[in-house]
Structure 1
Amino acid sequence: MADIDDRWHRRGPDGKLERTDRYGVGARWLVRWRDPEGRQRKKSFKRKAEAENFAASLEHGLRSGSYIAPDAGRVRVGEWAQRWLDAQRHLAPSTVERYRGVVQTHIVPRWGNVYLSSVTHADVQAWVSGLVEDLAATSVAKVHRVFSLMMAWAVRDARLARNPAEGVKLPRPALPDHRYLDHDQVARLAERCGDHGVVVRFLAYTGLRWGELAALRVGRVDLRRRRVQVVESVTEVNGSLVWGTPKTHERRSVPIPRFLVDQLRPRVEGRPDDALVFPSPRGEVLRVRNFRRRVFDAAVREVGPEGFHPHELRHTAASLAIASGADVKIVQQMLGHKTATMTLDLYGHLFPDRLDEIADRMDQAVCAPNVPHD
Structure 2
Amino acid sequence: MNYYLTKRKKAKRSYFYVNFTDPNDSRKILLSTSVELLRRKIGISSRLPVTREKEAYAIVERAIADGLINLDRDTKNFADYVLDFWDFDTSEYIRRRNQKAPDSIGKDYAMNMLGCFKRHAQKYLPPKLNLHEVTASHIEKVIDSLFDEGVLSNSTVKRVVQSMSVPLKEATRKKWIAHNPMDGVESIVNNHKERGIYSIEEIRKILDRLYMKGTIGVTEIRKTRCKKNIWEKKPQTVKTNLKPYLAVMLAAYTGMRSGEIRALRSEQMRIVNDDFCIIKVDRAVNDYAGEKNTKGKRARSVPIPRFLYDMLIKEASSNPHDGSSLVFWSKKSATNPISTNFLVKQLYKAQEAIGITEKQRLERNLDFHSLRHTFNTNLRGRISEKSLRAVVGHESVEMSDLYTHATEEDVIAVGVAIVDIFKSIYEGKAGDGGST
TM over 0.5: yes
Match of 1:264 in 2: 309
Match of 2:175 in 1: 158
State the distance in 1 between where 2:396 and 2:19 align: 58
What is the DSSP-based 3-state SS (H/G/I as helix, E as strand, rest coil) of the residue aligned with 1:305? coil
What is the DSSP-based 3-state SS (H/G/I as helix, E as strand, rest coil) of the residue aligned with 1:256? strand
Match of 2:297 in 1: 250
State the distance in 2 between where 1:331 and 1:162 align: 46
Q: Is the 8 A contact 2:113 2:159 kept in 1?
A: no
Match of 1:12 in 2: none
What is the DSSP-based 3-state SS (H/G/I as helix, E as strand, rest coil) of the residue aligned with 2:112? helix
Match of 1:36 in 2: none
State the distance in 2 between where 1:190 and 1:28 align: 70
State the distance in 2 between where 1:254 and 1:226 align: 10
Match of 2:372 in 1: 314
Q: Is the 8 A contact 1:144 1:165 kept in 2?
A: no
Residue 148 of structure 1 and its aligned partner are, at CA, apart by: 0.7
State the distance in 1 between where 2:22 and 2:65 align: 11
Cα-to-partner distance string for 1:188-237 (whole Å, 9 max, x where unaligned): 21111115333212111222221211111111123317432222222334
**Higher Cα radius of gyration:** 1
Q: Is the 8 A contact 1:29 1:51 kept in 2?
A: no
Residue 339 of structure 1 and its aligned partner are, at CA, apart by: 3.1
Residue 316 of structure 1 and its aligned partner are, at CA, apart by: 2.1
Match of 2:205 in 1: 188
Residue 261 of structure 1 and its aligned partner are, at CA, apart by: 2.7
State the distance in 2 between where 1:122 and 1:300 align: 45
Q: Is 1:177 matched with 2:166?
A: no
Match of 2:118 in 1: 104
Aligned identity (percent) is 18
State the distance in 1 between where 2:300 and 2:329 align: 21
Q: Is the 8 A contact 2:78 2:131 kept in 1?
A: yes
Q: Is 1:221 matched with 2:269?
A: yes
State the distance in 2 between where 1:103 and 1:246 align: 27
What is the DSSP-based 3-state SS (H/G/I as helix, E as strand, rest coil) of the residue aligned with 2:285? strand
State the distance in 2 between where 1:298 and 1:100 align: 31
Cα-to-partner distance string for 1:80-103 (whole Å, 9 max, x where unaligned): 012201214653222222112111
Match of 1:324 in 2: 382
State the distance in 1 between where 2:184 and 2:176 align: 19
> What pairs up with 1:272-287 in 2 under 5 angstroms?
275-280=325-330, 285-287=337-339
Q: Is 1:117 matched with 2:168?
A: no
Residue 180 of structure 1 and its aligned partner are, at CA, apart by: 0.5
**2:327 counterpart letter in structure 1:** V
Match of 1:232 among 277, 283, 293: 283
What is the DSSP-based 3-state SS (H/G/I as helix, E as strand, rest coil) of the residue aligned with 1:193? helix
State the distance in 1 between where 2:84 and 2:157 align: 23
What TM-score, normalized by structure 2, do the two folds share?
0.58
Match of 1:15 in 2: none
Unaligned runs of 5+ in 1: 7-24, 34-39, 59-66, 342-374
State the distance in 2 between where 1:169 and 1:211 align: 35
Aligned residues: 300
Q: Is the 8 A contact 2:252 2:375 kept in 1?
A: yes
State the distance in 1 between where 2:205 and 2:177 align: 57
> What pairs up with 1:23-172 in 2 under 5 angstroms?
49-50=58-59, 52-58=61-67, 69-70=70-71, 72=73, 74-86=75-87, 87=91, 88=94, 90=98, 91-111=105-125, 112-133=127-148, 134=150, 135-166=152-183, 168-172=185-189
What is the DSSP-based 3-state SS (H/G/I as helix, E as strand, rest coil) of the residue aligned with 1:165? helix
What is the DSSP-based 3-state SS (H/G/I as helix, E as strand, rest coil) of the residue aligned with 2:110? helix
Change (3 A) 1:321 1:150: farther
Aligned-residue RMSD, C-alpha: 3.9
State the distance in 2 between where 1:231 and 1:339 align: 17
Match of 1:203 in 2: 251
Cα-to-partner distance string for 1:141-180 (whole Å, 9 max, x where unaligned): 1111111112112112221122212463334323423121
**2:180 counterpart letter in structure 1:** N
State the distance in 1 between where 2:355 and 2:394 align: 28
State the distance in 1 between where 2:246 and 2:145 align: 45
What is the DSSP-based 3-state SS (H/G/I as helix, E as strand, rest coil) of the residue aligned with 1:72? coil
